[in-house]
Amino acid sequence: MLRPSECCFLNPEVSKPILVIKFGTASITLPSGEPDNGKISEIARQVSEIHAQYRIIIVSSGAVGAGKAYIRNYKGTMTQRKAAASVGNPLLVGLYASYFAPKHIFIAQSLCERQHFANRDKFLQLKETFEELWENDIIPIVNENDVVSDRELKFSDNDELATLLAVGFGAESLMFCTSVGGLLDEEGQILRNVSNVNEVFKFVKTDKSFLGLGGMASKLTFAKLAARMAIRVVIFGMNAKNELLRALNGDAGTLITPGKSTLSARNRWLGSGGLVSGRLQIDEGASKALSKRKSLLAVGVTEVTGDFESGEIIEIYSAAEEMIAVARARETSTAIRQNLKTMNFEVAHANDIVLL
Q: What is the dihedral of CA 94, 98, 99, 104, to 10 degrees?
A: 120
Asked if 54 and 48 touch (Cβ cutoff 8 Å), the reply is: no
CB atoms within 10 A of CB 264: 11
* Tens-digit pLDDT profile for residues 217-249: 777 877 877 887 789 999 999 989 999 999 999
Judge whether residue 261 has pLDDT over 80: no
Confidence of residue 146 (pLDDT cuts 50, 70, 90): low
- CA–CA gap between residue 201 and residue 220 (Å, rounded): 8
Segment 298-314 mean pLDDT: 88
Judge whether residue 207 has pLDDT over 60: no
Q: What pTM does this model have?
A: 0.76
Q: Which of 29-38, 70-79, 131-140 has the lowest mean pLDDT?
A: 29-38
Q: Residue 189 contacts by C-beta under 8 Å, 6 or more apart in sequence?
A: none
Distance from the first to the final alpha carbon of the chain: 47
Q: How many residues are present in the chain?
A: 356
Q: What per-residue confidence (pLDDT) applies to 171? A: 92
Q: What per-residue confidence (pLDDT) applies to 242? A: 96
Q: What per-residue confidence (pLDDT) applies to 353? A: 86
Q: What per-residue confidence (pLDDT) applies to 142? A: 93
* Tens-digit pLDDT profile for residues 35-65: 899 999 999 999 999 999 999 999 998 888 8
Judge whether residue 128 has pLDDT over 90: yes
User: Quick one: which of 309, 323, 319 has its CA closest to 353?
Assistant: 323
Asked if 136 and 9 touch (Cβ cutoff 8 Å), the reply is: yes
User: Quick one: which of 230, 224, 232 has its CA closest to 259?
Assistant: 230
Confidence of residue 31 (pLDDT cuts 50, 70, 90): confident
